[in-house]
Amino acid sequence: IGFIAGETAPAGRTMGHAGAIVGGSDDTAQAKKKVMRECGIHVVDSPAEIGKKVKEVLG
């Protein structure tokens, strides 16, 4: 189960720590979520959805 924070942050705004900096035009929250899904990760849009998704995935 994955979640990407900062999706609503303004473009060009540095958020969090140095390892979390968005670099290029395709290094966005949406692009990261797309890659995660392509890798088989179940991505949620809100931390509030994590419990429901865990229950769904584990059955």
d(C-alpha 55, C-alpha 1), whole Å: 11
Residue carrying structure tokens 């942050």: 9
Q: Which residues contact 14 (CB under 8 A, 6 or more apart)?
A: 21
Catalytically annotated residue among 17, 25, 38, 48: 17
- In the residue annotation, 42 being an active-site residue is answered as no
Task: List, by residue number, the catalytic residues.
Answer: 17
